[in-house]
């Protein structure tokens, strides 16, 4: 069965018991998360989130890029979030290459944002949020351990 058919069947199952169409647009728990797109991460589960609780922004590496920053600015200034969590993870693919190597392989100059040190990258993203006058002062960094499911603070 093609993936699109599997997804549509799963959606029909979801729709049959859907009761959350009344939720307001602003996130109820008033925070935003920037984390990696890695399929092993389920932020709703490891953060105890339900629909409507938080904004979750995902990209390769969980990096506060210009686009993630744009989403955070809108989240905070238009939808009332008051805190930001930046969550990287162990065994991240972004630790396994250098931008210039993949750029040469693909024949592109697109910035991929690979990094050699996970904790340093999280600290840089936390600093990017902290330095913005358009974002809340409350920002924290964490590492999600894919091996254990544990979330540990980055200081």
- What are the sequence ranges of the domains in the chain? 25-154
pLDDT of 103 = 97
Return the exposure string of 86-109: e unless at least 16 CB atoms fall within 10 Å of the residue's CB, then b. Answer: bbbbeebebeeeeeeeebeeeeee
Q: Residue 155: pLDDT above 90?
A: no
Class of domain 25-154: alpha beta
- In tens, the pLDDT along 61-77 reads 999 999 999 999 999 99
- In tens, the pLDDT along 17-62 reads 999 999 999 999 999 999 999 999 999 999 999 999 999 999 999 9
pLDDT band at 1, cuts 50/70/90? confident
Cβ contact 90:149 at 8 Å:
no
Cβ contact 127:154 at 8 Å:
no
pLDDT of 84 = 98
pTM as predicted:
0.95
């Amino acid at each position: 069965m093609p993936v699109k058919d599997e997804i549509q069947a799963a959606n029909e199952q979801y729709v049959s018991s859907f009761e959350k169409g009344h939720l307001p647009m602003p996130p109820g728990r008033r925070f935003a998360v920037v984390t990696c797109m890695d399929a092993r991460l389920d932020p709703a589960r490891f953060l105890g989130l339900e629909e409507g609780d938080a904004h979750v922004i995902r990209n390769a590496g969980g990096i506060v890029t210009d686009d993630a920053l744009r989403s955070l600015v809108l989240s905070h200034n238009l939808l009332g979030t008051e805190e930001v969590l930046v969550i990287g993870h162990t065994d991240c693919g972004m630790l396994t290459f250098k931008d210039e190597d993949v750029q040469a392989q693909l024949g592109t100059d697109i910035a991929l944002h690979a990094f050699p040190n996970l904790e340093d990258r999280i600290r840089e993203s936390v600093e990017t949020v902290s330095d913005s006058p358009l974002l809340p002062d409350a920002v924290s960094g964490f590492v999600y351990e894919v091996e254990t499911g544990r979330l540990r603070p980055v200081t």
